[in-house]
Structure 1
Amino acid sequence: MSAFGNAAASDNSRAKATNVSASDKDGAKPSASPADVSSDAAKSKPAPQTNAKTSGRRRAVSKKIGEPFVVATADLHQTSTQTPATQPPSSQTPAQTDATRPPGTEQQQTVPPTARPNPPANPQTPPGTQQPAPQTPPGVQTPPASQPPATTAPSPAPTATTPSTTPPSETTTPPTAGEIQEPNFPSVQPRPVPPMPSLERVGVNGGDSLSLTLNEAIRRALENNNDIEVARNDVRLAEQQLYALQGVFDPVFTYTPEVNNSVRPVVNIFGGAGTAGTVTTTDYNNNATVNKQFGRGGGNFTYFFNNTREATSASNTSINPFYSSAQGLQFTQPLWRNRSIDRNRQQIRIQRKRLEQSDSDFRLRTIAVISQVQRAYWDLVFALRNEQNQIANVKLAQENFRRTEASVAAGASAPLDRAEIETELATREDALLIANQQVTVAENTLKTLMLKDPLSSDWSKVLVPTDEPSFDETPFNLETALKEASENRPEVRRLKLEQEVNDINLQFYKNQTKPRVDLTGTFQTNGLAGTPNTTSVSTTPSPLILGDTFASTSASAFLLQQLNQTRQALGLLPITNVPTVTPTATGIPSQFVGGYGQTLQNLFSFSTRQVVVGVTIQIPFKNRVAQANLATARIQRDQLAAQTRGQEQTVEVDVRNAVQAVETARRRVIFAREASQSAEEQLAGERRLFQVGRSTQFLLFQRENALVNARNQQLQAETDYNKALSDLQRATSTTLRANNIIIDSPVPPEKFKD
C-alpha cells in the first residue's frame, strides 16, 4: 500500500515516473531518432522469468554505452512482465507526481518524448532513487516478446468512498497524451483529540491541598509519629525505674500509736495487788522512728523517739500515773564489703546507664524517622515532577494526533499513520497513569510518617511540597564524615554505655568477694516523771507500836502486850507512853515529780543515757556465688569489646557507602543535565526535519520519548542526590544538627548523683 492508502494509484504513478538523463539535468532538450528509440526499447525488454526460485533474486543492471553507469537492484518478477511503451512528448501532469513524495516537492521537469518509462517501484528502494530498466546480461539470448495491440485502455473510474484494492496490472498501458489520471483518495474526516485521562485519586480531595516544606514535614513527624511516641515513652519508663531505685535512699518516717490495757494476777505480797490479788495497767504508747539509708558509704541510720503514759492499780508504786520517754540513734556502717558499692547502688548506677541508653535509642529512632521523612518527601517531589513530565508528554502526543488527523484528512498522510499515533498516545497515557499511582504511594508514605490518627482529615488532603531539590557540586570529605560518625553515632554511644555497665558489675562482684566488717552503735537517752502515789502514804499521826487491839495481827502490838503482862506480874506499871509517827512523801526526788513536760525536760537533759558500740565481722569461707558472678562479668567484658569493634566497622562501612552514594549522585546529576540538554537539541532538530519531510513520525516519537526519559533521569538523579545527603546525615548522626533539632536529656545530670 502507498503512503495514501491506494495501492493502484501508487503503482500507476510510480510506473509513470521517468528517469531524467544527464542532459535533462543540464537543461538541454533531449533528441533521439526513431532508431534510437526502438533500440532502447528493445534493450529495455526484461528477460523471461526462468523459474520460481529465481523470481525473488536481485541482480545488477546498467544502462547502455554512453549513459552514466548506474548500479541498481530490481526484482526479477517485477521486470519479467514489464511492457515498454513509447510515450508521446508531453508535460508532466499532477497524475505523474510520485505519490510517496511529501506535498510541495512535486517534480516540475517535462518528460522527453524519447525517455524510457520507469519500471515498477521497488518497495525496498528509498524514495527518490532512480532505477534504470533491467537489461539482459551478456551471453543470454532473449526471446522476442510479444507486443500487445496498440490500443489505449480506458481509464478506470475510481469511487470516492471505496479505495481500490485490486493490484495493478503488470501490463498497464500508460495514459494517452492529454489524459490526467487522479489518485483514488478515500474520504476521511479528522477525529477529535482524545481528552486527557482522569488523574483523580481514590480518597483524596483534589480541591483541598496542604502546602508543606521539608522542615514542616519533619516537625509534624516528630510531634505525631507513632514510632517517636513509643521511643519517647521508653525513655519515660526508664526514668521512672531510676526514680524507683533511688527511693531506697529516701528517709522513712514511722509513727506507731498504741493503747495497751492489761489485768494480770499477782500473788506476791510485794506486787502491790492488795486484797484483790490482781493488778490493772493501762499504757498509751506513741513511738516514732526515722530510718535513712545513705548512698555514700552505705551506712544505715535510725532515729527513734518513744513516749509512754502508764497508770496502774498496784499499791507499791511511788508515782502513778507516770510518763516515760526515750530517744536515740542506731547506726550500722560497713567498713569493707558494701562500703564503696552495694546492691542498691549497683542497680541505681546500672539503671542510670540504661536511661542514657534509652536516650540514645530515642535519638537513633528520631534520626531514622527524620531520614525516612526526608526520603519520602523527595520521593513525593520526584513523583509529582514525573507526573508533570508525563502530562507534558501526553499533551505533545495529543498535538501530534491533531496534526496527523489533519494531514490524513487532507490526503497528505496515510490512514496507517493513525494507528502509529494512537499506539504512541495510549503508551504515554499508560505511563501517566503509572506516574499518578506513584504520586499516591509516595504521598501515603509521607502521611504515614506525619499523621498519628488514622481518622485524621489530613488523609484526604493533597500534599504539595514546596521545597526544590538542592544540589552542590562540592564533593564531601571522607575523613571528616568518619570523625563525626565516631563521635555522634548513637549505636557507638550505646555500646560505650554497655561497657560502663559491665565496669559497674565488675566493681560490685569484686567487692562482694571481700569479708564483711560493719561498725554498729546505739546512743539512747531516757526521761521519767509522774504524780506521787498518795493512796499508800497517810499524813495522820499514828502510834509507833499499835495497842493490844492489834496484838493478834501486829507483831509489835503482840510484843508490847506481852511486855505489859510481865511488868504487871512483877508489880510494875504497864507502858502507856507509846510514841507516834507522822509519815510524809518527801522520799521521791523532785525531778521525777511532774507531767509530760517534766519528762521531756529529763529526756533532753541527757542525765540518763545509754551508749553501745560494737563491730560485726562476717568471713565467708568460699563465697562461690560472688566469684562466679565476677567471672561472668569478665567474660561479658570481652564480648562487649568484640561487639564494639564490629560496630565500629559497620559504622565505617556505612559512612563510606553513604559518601560514595553522594558522590555518585552528584556526578549523575551533572551527566543527566547534559543528557537532557542534548535530548532537547536532538528533538528540536528532528522536528525541523519532520517539518520539511525528511523524517517520520516514528523517529519523532523516539526523540520525544528520549527527551522524556532524559528528563526523568535528571529528576531521579536530583532526587537520589538529596536522598543520599539524607542518608549521609543519618550515617554521621548529624541529622539533628542539620535540621536544627535539639533533644533535651530526660533527667537533669544532678539527679543522677547517688
Structure 2
Amino acid sequence: MISSRHFLPVALGLFSLPIAVFAQETTATEAAKPETVSVHALIVKALNTNLELRAKRIDPEIQGYRVDGAWGAFDPVLSLGGVYEKSSKPQNYRDFLSNGSIIVDPKARIFEEENIRLQGGISGRLPTGTQLELANTVSRLENTSNRRPVSLLAGGPLYSPEYQAGTTLTITQPLLKDFGPGANLAEVRLAKSTRLVSENELRGTVEKVIAQVVNACFEINFAQENILVKQQAIDLAGNLVRENQRRVDEGRMSPIEVSQSQSRLAEAREELILARNFLAQRQNTLSELTREEFVFDAPAYIIDTTQATLPEPSLNRETLVHTALENNPAYLAAIETAKGEDIRIVYAKNQRLPRVDLRGTLGYTGIEDGWTKSFYDYGNRDTPDWSAGVIISVPLTGKVGKARVNESIARKRQAVLNIKRTEVELYSAIDTALRDISSARERAALVKDSVRFATDSYNAEEKRLVSGLTTSYNVATQMRDFSQTRTRALAADVDLQKAITQLYLVQGVLSSQLKIDISVAP
C-alpha cells in the first residue's frame, strides 16, 4: 500500500512535469525518444505544406492575372492583313459610259478587275477614353479601265497597273459616355480591389491555420499529460487490488472488497484507452495541418510549447475592438468589397450617359506605278486630307443604363450591411473570448483547490480503509474523483491558452503576437 506521505508529493508533483512527455512505459531497450519540435517549427511547416492554405494562396495570384488582363485593354494592337480579289461583272450603260467606253461589243461591257490589297495599322485606347488608330493601306489595282494604253491626250490611265497607298490617323475622343479614367479604369480598379479582398481572405486563412496548429499542440500536450494521470490512476488502483487481496488472504477483509477495487482498476484502464484515443485524434489533426500526405502510424512529436505561450491580452474592450477593426482580415475584406461597389456605381452612372464622340482624321494618299513609289507620292500633295465631326448616340429609353445604376446601388447597400454584420460578429467573438478567458482563469484557480481537496480526501479515505472504517468502494470513488479532478485541472489550463489564442485570432494579430512574419503575396 502507498501511504499518504509518499503519495502526496507524487500527486502534487505531476503538475511540475515538463510539457509534452509521452505517456508510454519505456525501457532501456526501446527505440530512441521521438523528435522534439517547437510549435513555431510546426507552424512554419503548416504554412508551407497545408493543402487548404496552398489552395487559398492561388486566389491572389489569379486576381493578379486579372489585374494584368484589365490593363491589357490599353495595350496597342497591331493589325496586318492582305486580300486578293478577282471579279468579272457586267456594267450597266451608265457605268459603261463613265469608263469612257464607246465600243458596242457586248463583251466590252464586262468589267474585269484583279486587285491585291495590303493593310496594316496600330490602334489603342488611353485611360482618358481617347482612341487612336494609325492605318496604312497599299493596293495593286488592275482592271479593264487601266489596262488601256497610257495616253494623256486620250485621257487614259497614268499607270497600268495602279499602285495606290493611303495613311490615315484617326482620333476619337468620347465626351460623355466612356470619358475619363473613372469609366475607362473601372475594370482595372475592380480587379485591384478584388485582389485586395483575396489577400485579406488569404491572411485570414493563414491566421486560422496558425490558431489550429497552436490549439492542436496544446491539446496534444493535454492528452499526453492526461495519459500520465490515467496511468498513475491505474497504478494506484492496481496497488489497491493487491493490498486488498493480501488482506483477504490474511482474513482481515471480505472478498467483495477485492471485487470493488478490481472494478475501479478496470474503469481506470478504460479511461486510459479513451485518453490514448484522444491523443491519437489530436495527432491526426496536427498531421492534417502540417503534412502534404497523410502517413499512417507516423511517429509523434514531443512538442515544445515554450515559444507558443502568448502574452496576457488587454481586457479593455475598446482597445480590443479598435485593434480588431484595424487588423481583422474578414472585416478589412468586407470594407474593400464595399469600395469595389463604389467603383461599379461610378462606372454604371457613366455608361448611362449618351455617347458623344469627337472624331477627326488626318491622312495622305498617293498613286504610282510601284509599291514603294505610291508612298513617295505623298510629297506631291500640298495639304493632307482631313475630317472632323461629332457622332451622337442616345438610347431612346435608357432602361439598361438605369437598371445597371440601380443594381450597383443595391450591391453597395448589401456590402454596407455585410460590413455591419462582420462588425457585430467581431464584437460578439471578442466578448465570447473575454468570457472564455475569465471562465478558464476562474476554473484554473478553483480546480487547483479541488486537486488539493481531492488529494486529502483520497488519502484520508485510504487511512480509513486500513482501519476498517470504510469500504474499497468509497476508496475507489475518491480515487476516481481525484483522477478526474487532475484531468480537469489540465483541461482548464489548456482552455485558457485556447481562449487567449482565439482572442488574438479574432483581432487578426495572432501571427504578430507569436512573432511570426507572414506574407500573403502570391
TM bin, normalised by shorter chain, reads 0.7 to 0.9
Deviations 1:362-417 (A, max 9, x none): 22233233323332332222122111210111012222223333333334434333
Q: 2:314 & 2:69 partners in 1: Cα distance?
A: 51
Q: Within the alignment, does 1:222 sit opposite 2:62 as a pair?
A: no
More helix by share: 2
- 1:467 is aligned, of 289, 305, 308, to 305
- The alpha-carbon deviation at position 335 of structure 1 amounts to 1.1
- Which whole-Å CA distance do the structure 2 matches of 1:365 and 1:217 have between them? 16
What one-letter code is carried by the residue in structure 2 that aligns with 1:313? Answer: R
Task: Identify the range of structure 1 (322-331 vs 263-272) with the bigger mean alpha-carbon deviation.
Answer: 263-272
| Residue 385 of structure 2 is aligned to residue 610 of structure 1 | yes
Which of 307, 313, 321 is residue 138 of structure 2 equivalent to? 307
| Identity among equivalent pairs (%) | 20
What one-letter code is carried by the residue in structure 1 that aligns with 2:386? V
Higher CA-based Rg: 1
Does the CA-based 8 Å contact 1:378-1:719 persist in structure 2? yes
1:431 match: secondary structure: helix
Offset at residue 610 of structure 1 (A): 0.7
Matched residues in 1 for 2:309 and 2:244: separation?
A: 41
Residue 528, structure 1, aligned to residue 367, structure 2: yes
Render the CA deviation track for 1:577-599: whole Å, top value 9, x for unaligned: xxxxxxxxxxxxxxxxxx54444
Counterpart of 2:519 (choices 743, 748, 754) is: 743
Aligned counterpart, 2:406: 631
Determine which of 271, 281, 290 is the counterpart of 1:450. Answer: 290
On the 8 A contact 2:123/2:131 being kept in 1, the answer is yes
Residue matched to 1:244: 69
Equivalent residue runs for 1:462-611 within 5 Å: 462-467=300-305, 470=309, 476-530=315-369, 595-603=370-378, 607=382, 609-611=384-386
Provide the C-alpha distance between the structure 2 equivalents of 1:661 and 1:401, rounded to a whole number of angstroms. Answer: 41
Which deviates further from its counterpart, 273-282 or 320-329? 273-282
* Conserved 8 A contact 1:360-1:493: yes
- The Cα shift of 1:702 comes to 4.1
* SS of structure 1 residue aligned to 2:115: strand
- In structure 1, the partner of 2:59 is 234
Distance (Å, rounded) in 1 between the aligned partners of 2:461 and 2:219: 33
How far did 1:470 drift?
A: 3.9
**Superposition deviation, residue 282 in structure 1:** 4.2
**Paired residue for 2:191?**
351
1:322-471 matches, cutoff 5 A = 322-340=162-180, 345-453=185-293, 456-457=294-295, 460-467=298-305, 470=309
So what's the TM-score if we normalise by structure 1?
0.57
Q: Secondary structure at the match of 2:305?
A: coil
Task: Give, in angstroms, the shift of residue 288 of structure 1.
Answer: 0.4
Equivalence map 1:82-97=2 (5 Å) = none
**Counterpart position of 2:153:** none
How far has the Cα of 1:686 moved from its partner? 5.4
Q: Which residue of 1 aligns with 2:12?
A: none
Q: Given the alignment, which residue of 436, 446, 450 partners 1:661?
A: 436
Q: With the length of structure 2 as denominator, give the TM-score of the two structures.
A: 0.80
Report the count of equivalent residues: 477
Say whether 1:711 aligns with 2:486. Answer: yes
- Given the superposition, is the C-alpha separation of residues 602 and 207 from structure 1 closer, same or farther in structure 2, using an over 3 Å criterion? farther
Gaps spanning 5+ residues in structure 2: where?
A: 1-22, 26-30, 150-155
* 3-state SS in 2 of match to 1:320: coil
In structure 2, the residue matched to 1:65 is: none
Structure 2 counterpart of 1:744, which letter? V
Q: How many Å apart are 1:256 and its aligned residue?
A: 0.4
CA distance in 1 between counterparts of 2:255 and 2:111 reads: 132
Q: Secondary structure of 1:462's partner?
A: coil
Secondary structure, aligned partner of 2:176: coil
Q: For 2:486, give the aligned amino acid.
A: R
Deviation per residue, 1:240-271 (Å, 9 max, x gap): 34443433222211100233345677866846
Q: Is the 8 A contact 1:231 1:362 kept in 2?
A: yes
Higher deviation after alignment, 264-273 or 517-526: 264-273
Deviation at residue 665 of structure 1 after TM alignment: 1.5
Change (3 A) 1:215 1:601: same
C-alpha distance in 2 between matches for 1:630 and 1:731 = 36
Work out whether residues 476 and 663 of structure 1, in 8 Å CA contact, stay in contact via their aligned partners in 2.
Answer: no
> Comparing both chains, which one has the higher relative contact order based on Cα–Cα distances under 8 Å and sequence gaps of 6 or more?
2
SS at match of 1:319: coil
User: SS of the counterpart of 1:338?
Assistant: coil
Structure 1 residues 395 and 271, CA gap change in structure 2 (3 angstroms): farther
Cα deviation, 1:522-578, whole Å, max 9, x if unaligned, reads: 111123332xxxxxxxxxxxxxxxxxxxxxxxxxxxxxxxxxxxxxxxxxxxxxxxx
Superposed CA deviations along residues 465-510 of structure 1, whole A, max 9, x for unmatched, are 3326848677633322111111112222222223223322322233
- Could you tell me which runs of 5 or more consecutive residues in structure 1 were left unpaired when the two chains were aligned: 1-197, 201-205, 531-594, 747-754
Q: Deviation at 1:298?
A: 1.2
Residues 257, 474 of structure 1: CA spacing in aligned structure 2 closer, same or farther, 3 A cutoff? closer
RMSD: 3.5
Shift of 1:339: 0.6
Write the distance in 1 (CA, Å) between the matches of 2:101 and 2:297: 91
Please tell me the residue identity of whatever aligns with 1:250: D
Q: Which amino acid aligns with 2:57?
A: R
